[in-house]
Amino acid sequence: MIKVSVVGAKGRMGSHVVDAVNGAADTQLALALDAGDDLTAITPDNTDVVVEFTVPSVSLDNVLALVKQGVDVVVGTTGWTDEKLAQVKAALAEAPRENQAVFIAPNFAISAVLADHFAKVAAPYFESAEVIELHHPTKVDAPSGTAIHTAQAIGEARRAAGLGDMPDATETDGGSRGQVVDGVHVHAVRLRGLNAHEEVLFGNAGEQLTIRADSFDRISFMPGVLLAVRKVASGSFPGLTVGLDHFLDL
Amino acid sequence: MIKVSVVGAKGRMGSHVVDAVNGAADTQLALALDAGDDLTAITPDNTDVVVEFTVPSVSLDNVLALVKQGVDVVVGTTGWTDEKLAQVKAALAEAPRENQAVFIAPNFAISAVLADHFAKVAAPYFESAEVIELHHPTKVDAPSGTAIHTAQAIGEARRAAGLGDMPDATETDGGSRGQVVDGVHVHAVRLRGLNAHEEVLFGNAGEQLTIRADSFDRISFMPGVLLAVRKVASGSFPGLTVGLDHFLDL
Amino acid sequence: MIKVSVVGAKGRMGSHVVDAVNGAADTQLALALDAGDDLTAITPDNTDVVVEFTVPSVSLDNVLALVKQGVDVVVGTTGWTDEKLAQVKAALAEAPRENQAVFIAPNFAISAVLADHFAKVAAPYFESAEVIELHHPTKVDAPSGTAIHTAQAIGEARRAAGLGDMPDATETDGGSRGQVVDGVHVHAVRLRGLNAHEEVLFGNAGEQLTIRADSFDRISFMPGVLLAVRKVASGSFPGLTVGLDHFLDL
Amino acid sequence: MIKVSVVGAKGRMGSHVVDAVNGAADTQLALALDAGDDLTAITPDNTDVVVEFTVPSVSLDNVLALVKQGVDVVVGTTGWTDEKLAQVKAALAEAPRENQAVFIAPNFAISAVLADHFAKVAAPYFESAEVIELHHPTKVDAPSGTAIHTAQAIGEARRAAGLGDMPDATETDGGSRGQVVDGVHVHAVRLRGLNAHEEVLFGNAGEQLTIRADSFDRISFMPGVLLAVRKVASGSFPGLTVGLDHFLDL
């Protein structure tokens, strides 16, 4: 039984994590803390893994403190820079327990992580590739970070394979061809009723390959969170790991 | 049996029309003419309906001549302006036969014409609507004329229904949100392997309606051409008619 | 301002109706009743329209009582038979107010109602048509009532248009071709993460038309409920009306 | 420059292979033979790789003869049994040249091969998975061999990951749930206008992953054929290889 504490337990994501930890057969809830609660209550005695879902402004401090307290941490908060990651690595180097682990994921949706990976694998074999992301209309940035990441992965894979530019005879366009990220056209749709969706289209003469990931609800992140908790608790991933793809058998 | 002559019979579309006329049970091929052939060979004696698929630079002259010769014409050539249409109307007013007809269609694909119509009908009932068109990468213009027409139809239907702007909180965008046509975001994808495709997305809280028309091959225009030939030959559509939707039971 | 009372206000649908009535600019909540509450509290003085979302075993009695009390009723409960509908009609014939109205809808999702209508309109123009419905895996019946209804509408439209059987050379099949409803193959997918979805596919040589309705959440029924409330309150639909399509401009 | 001879050069596939070999920068056409032509004209002097696209009744004899003549063979003809493959292996063991190679592929469409592989990789991470294949209505078998293969790969991957049965509460069904292959529901759609398409759907609470491969035209097999020609000509795959996935970087 893996003892899991949740930091940010009353937040939109954290409350789902509490439910997921209570619902899984191999995890049990230790402490559920939120803003204002004392982090030092979390110790290696009561907790194997902490799941931290707060806000970028406090997440780094939380993680550094938890590392010092000798527990492993799974982080879902966004906003990590290279500089922040370096501070986490430094803290881990001086951590009290051996093989202590911190895991940070930009995206816990397994479908999205798989789609991103499949796009990278498929990219060398197609003349054309474009990315369409679709989100709820209250999203303030376009395109999504995930779509940019996917486009960059496609661009990189094409270069590595020695592919040139994609065929495109467009002469007149008022903006419909989207944003070009690393040579890949990216389109962003905003539609009431949607949540977070990405579609990657590949084409050769006479054939098309489509990979689509739909996240209808943030509950979709829970299998990824539980997977990360198990992998971190297994002791096989000491130090800092970034990205759920490291925990999938790809 | 409807006697059909084809002008532009050796062209990419015209050759399919010849096959379609030969293949249908209720039509038979009269004359198959191409560039350089004498149009005056076509008369009411040998031809009920002419199908004209040539190029914009000669189509108007062809149609005017054929109207004078007393035959009905179904036109698939593009590039029609209000001025050109007015000339056709004037010619029809002095046509030798009573109830002579000219039919011009920007699009003979029944799926595309239905999708366009359905988009117009659905538009008043949704908060959000966007259009994605997808074509082969040798197309020189973006977005497609069909997508622009669909977006305008949606915009018009929304105004008529008193709907305001669509919800969209986008603050930062490098072009991924596409081209805005009459308040509707239009996205154009270019992918090797595709031909001509349009997808219209509508959204309300908790629901989505998607209408998609795929034309994989120009043979997809033939049912529309044959439908037009039959409707024109029926004598029920004297004068000038523009748009295949007039021949569908909508 | 339309005064709306809700019967079944604590149910899964009713609680959404309460929120929707409170949220709309032209409706206000009168009474919110649930099992055990006294229906006679609802009168023409405090209520213009009642929305009834309960269970089939009590819905008929509720509606009959409310009609006698002189209020209009919008019913979302399922399980209506011809016999039950006849009782509602009889009650309306003796209703205390002139032009009293009852509206019953098997489906309040506008996208589903539109998809069904579009399928019927498109059916005469295509050689092939099949229906795929996709639902959450806790649904006990397959295929869905909506899919059966759509298939029947397609079958009827094909017959009316004089179309024969669809092309299908299948000789060996272990069940993959699905259930045939009125000549139309219907396929049912059950997938964790989905809610209620229907896709109708039409095909001719070289072209495809796809109509898809997605209901991600029962909140998707609220625009349809509010539309029904407004139409009923307008006084333009006296008597019994069944089906949201009567309130759409189709 | 790879010298390529084509056996079955006038067939539907073979004629595309001739065009593809002529069109690629690194291949040139040696001999183009068809039924009745003398296979012994093909020698290591004039040919590096033979592409064989004929019919099952003659393919084995062709391949055995070509192996004896000392040339590498890429085979697109279907109908290979374990017994036939054993005969090819035996012939290769006594082949005149060292490292001689025969490559046989059930499917040369790169998108289909990738989709199959991705389905296998994704399968362990989802509660639900179903397969929909869609084909032209002149296909005599349902479901397609590719869909059966994909379903088996999913079933095998689920067992290896220790997953149990998929959630499915269906109690009443008249056949709409499709054919169950290794625990995976498989649905077959037949639609005029389609060619060969496969869609694999995976679902978890709140999320869906969709992988779709579309083959619109048999020209879609040519990139796979050219890839196989290059890999075989490279000398890195001596002996018998079955399946295009061996030549992709997966």
Contact B210 C215 (CB under 8 A): no
Task: Give the residue from chain D lying closest to A161, CA to CA.
Answer: D249
Neighbouring C-beta atoms of residue D67, cutoff 10 Å = 26
Task: Report how many helices (DSSP H) and strands (DSSP E) chain C contains, helices first.
Answer: 6, 13
Rounded Cα distance, D183 and D179, in Å: 9
pLDDT of residue D211: 98
Which residue ranges of B are tagged as binding site for (S)-2,3,4,5-tetrahydrodipicolinate? 136, 145-146
Contact C125 B118 (CB under 8 A): no
Contact C250 B122 (CB under 8 A): no
Catalytic residues of A, by residue number, are 135, 139
Which residue of B110, B212, B217, B218 is the best one to mutate when testing the D interface, meaning the one whose CB has the most D CBs within 10 A?
B217
Which residue of A215, A216, A221 is the best one to mutate when testing the C interface, meaning the one whose CB has the most C CBs within 10 A?
A216
pLDDT of residue A200: 98
CA C20 to chain centre: 18
Neighbouring C-beta atoms of residue B28, cutoff 10 Å = 13
Neighbouring C-beta atoms of residue C70, cutoff 10 Å = 15
Dihedral of CA A214/A216/A217/A223: which sign? Answer: negative
Which residue ranges of B are tagged as binding site? 8-13, 34, 76-78, 105-108, 136, 145-146
Percent of chain A with pLDDT strictly greater than 70: 100
The residues, ordered by sequence, that sit 6+ positions from C21 with a Cβ below 8 Å of its Cβ are C4, C6, C27, C28, C29, C51, C226, C229
Contact C216 A216 (CB under 8 A): yes
For the segment A210-238, the average pLDDT, to the nearest whole number, is: 96
Which chain C residues have a beta carbon less than 8 Å from that of A220? 193
Other chains touching D, judged by 3 or more CB pairs under 8 Å: A, B, C
pLDDT of residue C32: 97
Which of A132, A170, A205 has the CB atom closest to B132's CB atom? A132
Rounded Cα distance, C147 and C199, in Å: 9
pLDDT of residue A76: 95
A81 confidence band (pLDDT: 50, 70, 90): very high
Question: Out of B3, B16, B120, B135, which one is annotated catalytic?
Answer: B135
Sites in chain D below the pLDDT cut of 50: none
* Tens of each residue's pLDDT in chain B, 250 residues: 999 999 999 999 999 999 999 999 999 999 999 999 999 999 999 999 999 999 999 999 999 999 999 999 999 999 999 999 999 999 999 999 999 999 999 899 999 999 999 999 999 999 999 999 999 999 999 999 999 999 999 999 999 999 999 999 999 999 999 999 999 999 999 999 999 999 999 999 999 999 999 999 999 999 999 999 999 999 999 999 999 999 999 9
Residue B197 pairs in a beta bridge with: B134, B214
Cα dist from D142 to B235, C30, D66, D188, whole Å: 46, 57, 34, 6
Distance from CA of B8 to the nearest CA of C (A): 21
Residue C70 pairs in a beta bridge with: none
Closest CA to B135 of D115, A200, A208: A208
Which chain A residues have a beta carbon less than 8 Å from that of B175? 175, 178-180
- Domains (ranges, CATH) in chain D? 2-104+219-247 (3.40.50.720), 110-216 (3.30.360.10)
Residues of D with CB under 8 A from a CB of B: 193, 195, 214, 216, 220
- Cα atoms in the Cβ-side hemisphere of radius 13 Å centred on C182: 17
pLDDT of residue D169: 97
For the segment A61-69, the average pLDDT, to the nearest whole number, is: 97
pLDDT of residue B233: 96
Question: Out of D84, D117, D139, D246, which one is annotated catalytic?
Answer: D139
Burial A99-138 (b: 16+ CB within 10 A, else e): ebbbbbbbbbbbbbbbbbbbbbbbbbbbbbbbbbbbbbbe
Which residue of C207, C227, C249, C250 is the best one to mutate when testing the B interface, meaning the one whose CB has the most B CBs within 10 A?
C207
Which chain D residues have a beta carbon less than 8 Å from that of C132? 132, 187, 189
Consult the annotation and say whether D195 binds a ligand. Answer: no
DSSP reduced 3-state for D33? strand
pLDDT tens by residue, A191-222: 999 999 999 999 999 999 999 999 999 999 99
pLDDT of residue C245: 95
**Strand-strand pairing, B128-135 and D172-173:** unpaired
pLDDT of residue D8: 97
Which of A126, A169, A191 has the CB atom closest to B201's CB atom? A191
Task: Give the residue from chain B lying closest to D217, CA to CA.
Answer: B193
Which chain C residues have a beta carbon less than 8 Å from that of B228? none
Which residue of C191, C202, C207 is the best one to mutate when testing the D interface, meaning the one whose CB has the most D CBs within 10 A?
C191
The residues, ordered by sequence, that sit 6+ positions from A209 with a Cβ below 8 Å of its Cβ are A122, A126, A201, A202, A203, D110, D111, D114, D115, D211, D212, D213, D214
Rounded Cα distance, C224 and C230, in Å: 10
pLDDT tens by residue, A93-122: 999 999 999 999 989 999 999 999 999 999
Rounded Cα distance, B223 and B221, in Å: 6
Contact B138 A167 (CB under 8 A): yes
Question: Out of C3, C16, C120, C135, which one is annotated catalytic?
Answer: C135
Sites in chain C below the pLDDT cut of 70: none
Distance from CA of A18 to the nearest CA of C (A): 20
Dihedral of CA C157/C159/C164/C167: which sign? Answer: positive
SS (H, E, C) B117-184: HHHHHHHHHCCEEEEEEEECCCCCEECCHHHHHHHHHHHHHHHHCCCCCCCCCCCEECCCCCEEECCE
Distance from CA of C223 to the nearest CA of B (A): 8
Size of interface A-C (CB pairs under 8 A): 9
Q: Helix, strand, coil % (nearest 5) of chain D?
A: 35, 30, 35
Question: Out of C68, C84, C117, C139, which one is annotated catalytic?
Answer: C139
What are the strands of the beta sheet with D72-75, ordered from one edge?
Answer: D27-33, D2-7, D49-52, D72-75, D101-104, D239-242
Consult the annotation and say whether A224 binds a ligand. Answer: no
Task: Give the residue from chain A lying closest to D216, CA to CA.
Answer: A206
pLDDT of residue D233: 97
pLDDT of residue B193: 97
Amino acid at C101: A
